[in-house]
Every structure is written in structure tokens, then in C-alpha cells.
């Protein structure tokens, strides 16, 4: 498994990776165990480099596609807060590192998945 594949797998499971200096954090912590934890340890140097790396327009385009794909999985009907979706999309476009990009994807998916009571 590559670092990219692991990041995608974790994101599909709702796990977010984050950087704290040279430490790799993930949330929720109880979602990573067994083989996933072993893969995180094995790929930690690659993940750290990847999360700190600057992103290209191709990276942003691929991240937007992933965000839309994941958002389609969580959408269960109802009114969407388009302001929140637009704000998350803006974060996608302005992300400078993969870590920021990953957070923006999660924000986009969360914005589509949350339900509002007013149209």
C-alpha cells in the first residue's frame, strides 16, 4: 500500500490525518487499529512528507473530485447549506499543503452531509 492509498482509505473511513510539528495525528483515534496502525507506522515518513508538500492545480482537481464522490456517499436528501459548501470549496482552491487540502475535503463532505431545517 502506498501513502496515497492509505490516505484515501482512511478518508473513506472518516479518519483525518493532521500534522503537529513532526508528529502525525489522526482522529478519531479509535478508528485506527491493527493493520491500519501498522501501515501508518510503516508509511509515516512518506505521509509526513506528503502532508507537508505544496499542492498543484492537479492535486486540487483530484481532491475536488474525491470530495464530490465522498459527498455523494453521505448525502441523504434534504436542504443543503450552500454557503458552507461554497466555503469548503474555497478552502479546497486555496489549500497550500496536502494537510490543508485534506481538511478542506473533509469540510466539503461534512457541509454536504449536514442537514439544515430551512431552505
Domain ranges of the chain: 1-52, 54-119
pLDDT digits (tens, 9 = 90+) for 41-55: 999 999 998 888 898
- CA-closest candidate to residue 78, choices 52, 45, 112: 112
Please name the helix (run of DSSP H) or strand (run of DSSP E) that holds residue 38, with its range, or none.
helix 35-52
Region 53-61: mean pLDDT is 90
Asked if the model's pLDDT at residue 73 lies above 90, the reply is no
Q: What is the CATH code for 1-52?
A: 1.10.10
| Helix/strand/coil for 116 | strand
pLDDT digits (tens, 9 = 90+) for 88-111: 999 999 998 888 888 888 889 888
SS3 content of the chain, % helix, strand, coil (to 5): 65, 10, 25
Amino acid at each position: 500500500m502506498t501513502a496515497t492509498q492509505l490516505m484515501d482509505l482512511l478518508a473513506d473511513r472518516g479518519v483525518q490525518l493532521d500534522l503537529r510539528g513532526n508528529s502525525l495525528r489522526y482522529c478519531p483515534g479509535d478508528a485506527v487499529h491493527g493493520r491500519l496502525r501498522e501501515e501508518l507506522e510503516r508509511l509515516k515518513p512518506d505521509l509526513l512528507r506528503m502532508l507537508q508538500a505544496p499542492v498543484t492545480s492537479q492535486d486540487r482537481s483530484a481532491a475536488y473530485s474525491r470530495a464530490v464522490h465522498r459527498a455523494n456517499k453521505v448525502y441523504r436528501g434534504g436542504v443543503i447549506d450552500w454557503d458552507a459548501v461554497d466555503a469548503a470549496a474555497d478552502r479546497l482552491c486555496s489549500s497550500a499543503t496536502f494537510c490543508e487540502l485534506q481538511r478542506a475535503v473533509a469540510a466539503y463532505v461534512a457541509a454536504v452531509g449536514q442537514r439544515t431545517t430551512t431552505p
